[in-house]
Amino acid sequence: MEKNTYKILVVDDEPDILEFIDYNLKREGYEVFLAPNGQEGIEKAKEVNPDLIVLDVMMPVLDGIEACRRLRDMPEFKSTFIVFLTARSEEYSEIAGFNVGADDYISKPIKPRVLLSRINAILRRKDQNNAPSKIQLGDLVIDKDSFVVTKGGQKVQMAKKEFELLYLLAGKPGKVFTRENILEKVWGDDVLVVDRTIDVHIRKIREKLGDENISTVKGVGYKFEA
Amino acid sequence: MEKNTYKILVVDDEPDILEFIDYNLKREGYEVFLAPNGQEGIEKAKEVNPDLIVLDVMMPVLDGIEACRRLRDMPEFKSTFIVFLTARSEEYSEIAGFNVGADDYISKPIKPRVLLSRINAILRRKDQNNAPSKIQLGDLVIDKDSFVVTKGGQKVQMAKKEFELLYLLAGKPGKVFTRENILEKVWGDDVLVVDRTIDVHIRKIREKLGDENISTVKGVGYKFEA
DNA sequence: TGAGGTTGTTAATAATTAGTTAAAGTTATC
DNA sequence: GATAACTTTAACTAATTATTAACAACCTCA
């Protein structure tokens, strides 16, 4: 529903790789667009205005670095995320050296896990940027700018993870978040923690705010009571 | 991380205009939030705390002039910039007559050039105004012109880095600054300094002003206590 | 009802983060 | 160019926070 409406443009000259990435990103729910070289990549980008562009470094007609540079020169792509694909990880130093404003790079051979977790991470960052700084629900106020939680005017001390977890749940009151959801948003999908960890944090929040705010939906997850 | 982190809230009942402004402002790198009428605009403003609000004059539910008046009544929006959109330029005299504290107005039809240049200009002004030479918080006075800090009338000697760090934190009381933030603003982002360096400066400031002014948000950063 | 699954709870341990000090490096000043 | 003031670092300690394991409680459905 939310995250999966992002548009991703993938530019690479090898059809196999294009197909491979296309398959994996679509499976994740992203809208995917493809182009075989930098030139056509730029055209396509203008056309669909993607949220993120995956650029191969080595390509005929127009290579990734030059394409990136040209994209960055256009105001509409100043802040679009760009991820490079490099054949060898050492190539990254070149990209960095060229200083064209890449947000990340992924070395070939591409592992679906890595690809997806990097892309998810970048787009999550984007998500966060338009998150509200203050959530108000009844007598509960959650202010991300100051990292302060107030209940009935009374300040409640929250540790970082507790705060982030509460902020996530309270951001969509009534919506059930699965543990998988929560892990992805609060921990990031590369981190591996056991389910009970979330429960412990939930418990701590309940201790501080009372049991009525967060309810358990058995077999599914947790939600903030609207 | 300069101008492009500004949050702009646009309130207008015509979806086409909203979309048009949204597109143009986002292209410029601003963070944009939208609302379809004055009522929801006020809600949204409370939520995201924008730097600038663009208000259509004529709107159902709650018109721009009344919305502006209500915003100005809330302390947190006393100094937020407000720009009106007017259908006819003559309307401006009305707004001015109502004396609700608008900072500028733009007549429809909106030309992207005009919109952007006005908004850029206002926010540039804000940058300057936002760097007041004197910050006063309780018995603490921080004067950037003379580089002098006074606590209860008593002069407190501050070194340059200490002063700048204090000035940054005290400039937005309550807001948490991450170490990354602090490095960027006080040191500049090319300088590579170890985290503990910031801690040491914080300690020195606390030594001089007392521990109560600057508090630690573990895992996040530091803030000046409002 | 009782087996199997899910969640709650606790306390111990691990990991992370911040505080502190002194010393070394740097810069400005006279 | 010597001195003092300021800045940074390293090394260590202290405090807080995160995670896990182990077990208890609970719920569901044959």
pLDDT tens sequence across A59-104:
888 888 888 888 887 867 876 888 888 876 555 555 554 556 667 7
Tell me what the mean pLDDT of segment B59-76 comes to.
Answer: 86
Q: Which residue has the higher pLDDT, B26 or A223?
A: A223
Category of B168 on φ-ψ map: left (φ > 0), alpha (ψ -120 to 50) or beta: alpha
For the CA of A138 and the C1' of C7, the distance in angstroms is: 28
Give the count of beta carbons closer than 10 Å to the beta carbon of residue B50.
23
Strand partners, B35: B11
* pLDDT at position A69: 86
Per residue in A176-218, pLDDT tens?
Answer: 999 999 998 999 877 889 999 999 999 999 999 999 999 999 9
pLDDT value at position B167? 95
Q: Which residues pair with A92 in a beta bridge?
A: none
Q: In the prediction, which pLDDT does B215 show?
A: 97
β-bridge mates for residue B155, sequence order: B150
Asked if residue B192 keeps its beta carbon closer than 7 A to nucleic acid strand D, the reply is yes
Each residue of A161-179: pLDDT tens digit? Answer: 999 999 999 999 999 999 9
* Two structure tokens written together for B67: 């919305």
B74 touches chain A (CB under 8 A): no
Computed on alpha carbons and rounded to an integer, the radius of gyration of chain B in Å comes to: 20
pLDDT digits 0-9 by tens, A11-65: 999 898 899 999 988 888 889 999 999 999 999 999 988 989 999 888 888 888 8
- Best mutation target, B43, B47, B216, to test chain A (most A CBs within 10 A): B47
- Whether residue A73 lies within 8 A of chain B, CB to CB, comes out as no
Q: Does B4 touch chain A (CB under 8 A)?
A: yes
Q: What pTM value is reported for the model? A: 0.65
Distance in angstroms, CA of B206 to C1' of D12? Answer: 21
Nearest CA to A38 out of A20, A55, A21 is that of: A55
Residues pairing with A106 in the sheet: A85
What does the pLDDT look like over A128-145, one tens digit per residue? Answer: 656 678 899 999 999 999
Residue A97 CB neighbours (<10 A): 9
A206 CB less than 7 Å from any atom of strand C:
yes
**Nucleotides on strand D with an atom closer than 7 A to protein CB?**
5-12, 16-23, 27-28
Provide residues 173-192 of B with CB closer than 7 Å to any strand C atom: 179
**What CA dihedral angle connects A42, A46, A52 and A54, to 10 degrees?**
-20
Q: Distance in angstroms, CA of A20 to C1' of D25?
A: 47
Q: Do B47 and A148 touch (CB under 8 A)?
A: no
Amino acid at the residue B89: S
* Reported confidence tier of residue B1, pLDDT bands at 50, 70, 90: very low
Show the tokens assigned to B124: 């540039």
| pLDDT confidence of residue B96 | 58
The pLDDT confidence band at residue B94, using thresholds 50, 70 and 90, is low
